[in-house]
Chain A
Amino acid sequence: MGEAQLAAAFEHAGLTISSERLAAKQEIYSSTLALIRTASTPGLGETVPATAFNASWD
């Protein structure tokens, strides 16, 4: 992600990130988000999430 995209994402999340901080951290922000993006791999099809919700009241 570029600096402008990151700035928009942080603003939307309600975080105050100075432009200096954004510039200093842009590489780690971007590289980590790029790693995470690979979790959205093609072909997940009908796979359901591994969640833990339990509707029981007991």
Chain B
Amino acid sequence: MELYELPLSEVAEKIRTGEVSPVEVTLSSLARLEQVEPMLTAFATTTPELALEQAKIAEKEIAGGGYRGPLHGIPLAVKDLYDTAGVRTTSSSQQRVDFVPDTDSAAVTKLYAAGMVLIGKTHTHEFAYGATTPTTGNPWAPDRTPGGSSGGSGAAVASGVVHVGLGSDTGGSIRIPAALCGTVGLKPTYGRASRVGVASLSWSLDHVGPLSRNVVDSALVMAAMSGYDRADPATVDVPVPDMVTGIDAGVAGKKIGIPVNYFTEQVDPEAMRAAEAAAAVLQSLGAELVDVTIPMTEHIMSTEWAIMMPEATAYHMDYLRDSPEKYTDETRTLLEIGAAQLATDYVNAVRLRTLIQAAWKEMFSSIDVLLAPTLAVGATLRSDPFVRWEDGTIEGATPAYVRLSAPANITGLPSLSIPAAFSADGLPLGVQIIGKPFAEPEILQCGYALEQNTDVVGRIAPIGAEAA
């Protein structure tokens, strides 16, 4: 078995004890990258020289007694929205094709401090404005979308190149690729982690977080990248909990909310069955399933788009006026719409957000967490990014995917997506666990319980196996 195939926790233990060095781990990651990248195009930029330099430093530190913890010497992929000093950061757009930041984003700074090693920058749907990442293939079926916008990170993790990839999530962009690629993905509570140095899509809805192979990996990385930052006015000055200790506490006695509406409407039967099976597993472990009605569902998508679109356009206004031809037509069109939106529609959406938050707080008074399908459907073909429903409706892939993930962006609640099943045609399906504000440890406990009692979490897509 190659090092990249081992779970992060096992690799970390081997590094800690000196059984393997971070250099060996990095070489294994780079070898897997070379094997699968031609089929996936998950990376906008790879950084093998920097990775080996960082790994050698880690090796020396650990040999000298300076072990920093379980992320020390572990390979990392970073979405190309995150600034990385001296490394090209394009947001997968011609607008920034030559942009090389002078400083690291806050999250990357924290993960470097934990000792992680940068393998490269992963493709995003251009400026995170979409959920399909057209540049990149899904490791389980390269002609299918890996989802987005953090599709490169999803593909890099699912193919085994790295255990952890960073993502950002404005309408589902961590959880969508996590579900479609069969990885874990954690969108934390709004304000849990700093977005400084990460290209914004919508300041009011953006979150940063990890995609990872196993649940405990996301717990480790999320804790490491969390914390108050005055430079990001959305961050909240609350203590960062240990997200790993107690992750195996189980779910006995927990009240799991099961939606009877919204998350059940226009959902592929296989995706629905996967969520039902996950609920049954938790129930068998002693959790109580409680039916809940999702409130104000008629306002969810209008609120999401009405907040996101003008904020995105405001961020991009200089490019949009001066060099609109450098955007893909899809991104340009969305940005133009934001310029034509009335300010009053924006403010009223932000007011609706207040009401939606209050209604969800009331809904949560009878439950501990909510469990639902992460997405309405599995990965669409890259050449045909549409969903054709049985009633004849045709829905674009991005709106179809965002529909079930956006509620956690509007409410700011933490949401963990974990693999729940594979479809009949072999594509991953995910389930999301949404928690109360700053209850990341609780949703991680639920996710860990599912991981330990099913056999679908932690798999590496067998892409490239035939060439090995």
Interface positions of A (Cβ within 8 A of B): 1, 6, 9-10, 13-17, 25, 28-29, 32-33, 35-41, 44, 47-54, 58
Residues of B within 8 A of A9 (CB): 339-340
- When distances are taken between beta carbons in the complex, the residues of chain A under 8 Å from B233 are 52-54
Digitize B318-361: 1 where CB-to-A-CB distance is under 8 Å, 0 elsewhere: 00110010000000010011011110110111111111010000
Q: How far is the CA of A54 from the CA of B91 in the complex (A)?
A: 29
B306 within 8 A of A: yes
Is residue B290 contacting chain A, with contact meaning CB distance below 8 A?
no
Q: How distant is B451 from chain A, measured CB to nearest CB, in Å? A: 34
Q: List 19 A-B contacts (CB under 8 A).
A: A1-B340, A10-B336, A10-B339, A16-B324, A28-B333, A33-B341, A35-B301, A36-B305, A38-B298, A39-B306, A40-B348, A44-B352, A47-B352, A49-B347, A49-B350, A50-B204, A50-B350, A50-B357, A52-B234
The reply to whether B357 and A35 form a contact with Cβ atoms under 8 Å apart is: no
Taking the nearest CB of chain A, how far is it from the CB of B400, in angstroms?
A: 15
Interfacial chain B residues near A36, Cβ < 8 Å: 302, 305-306, 309, 341, 345, 349
Cβ contact of A32, chosen from B230, B298, B337, B349, cutoff 8 A: B337
Extra inter-chain contacts (13) besides given A16-B321, A50-B204, CB under 8 Å = A6-B340, A15-B320, A25-B336, A29-B333, A32-B337, A33-B340, A35-B305, A36-B305, A36-B309, A36-B345, A37-B345, A41-B348, A41-B352
Beta-carbon nearest neighbor of B412 in chain A: A50
Please tell me if the beta carbons of A29 and B351 are within 8 angstroms of each other in the complex.
no
What's the Cα separation between A53 and B336 when bound, in Å?
Answer: 27
Measured CB to CB, the closest approach of chain B to A43, in angstroms, equals 10
**Of all chain B residues, which has the CB nearest A51?**
B350
- Report whether over half of chain A's contact residues are helix, strand or loop; otherwise say mixed: loop
How many residues on B have C-beta within 8 angstroms of the other chain's C-beta atoms? 35
Q: How far is the CA of A10 from the CA of B341 in the complex (A)?
A: 10
B-side interface residues toward A, CB under 8 Å?
204, 230, 233-234, 298-299, 301-303, 305-306, 309, 317, 320-321, 324, 333, 336-337, 339-342, 344-345, 347-355, 357
Flag if B349 contacts A29 (CB, 8 Å): no
B350 touches A32 (CB 8 A): no
Which residues of A sit under 8 angstroms from B341, Cβ to Cβ?
33, 36
The residue of chain B having its C-beta at the shortest distance from the C-beta of A7 within the complex is B340
Measured between beta carbons, the chain B residues less than 8 angstroms from A6 are: 340
Residues in A with CB closer than 8 Å to B345 are 36-37, 39-40
Pick the contact of B340 from A10, A35, A48 — CB < 8 Å?
A: A10
Q: How far is the CB of A2 from chain B (nearest CB, A)?
A: 12
**A37 → chain B closest CB, angstroms:** 6
Residue in contact with A47 in the complex, picked from B298, B321, B342, B354, CB distance below 8 Å: B354
CA distance A29 to B351 in the complex (A): 24
When chains A and B are docked, how far (Å) is the Cα of A50 from the Cα of B360?
14
Assess the B350–A29 pair: CB atoms within 8 A. no
Contacts of B353 in A (CB 8 A): 49-50
Q: Please measure, in the bound complex, the distance between the C-alpha atom of A35 and the C-alpha atom of B353, giving whole angstroms.
A: 16
Q: Which of A25, A47, A48 contacts B333 (CB 8 A)?
A: A25
List chain A residues, Cβ under 8 A from B321.
Answer: 14-16
Q: For B349, list chain A residues within 8 Å (CB).
A: 36, 39
Query: CA–CA, A32 to B348, complex, Å?
Result: 16
- By a CB distance below 8 angstroms, the chain A residues around B298 are 38
Q: Please, which residue of chain A has its CB at the minimum distance from the CB of B339?
A: A13
Cβ–Cβ contact B333 & A50, under 8 A: no
How far apart are the CA atoms of A50 and B353 in the complex, in Å? 6
Asked if residues B302 and A29 are in contact (CB atoms below 8 Å), the reply is no
4 A-B pairs with least C-beta separation: A49-B350, A39-B349, A13-B339, A9-B340
A28 proximity list for chain B (CB < 8 A): 333, 337
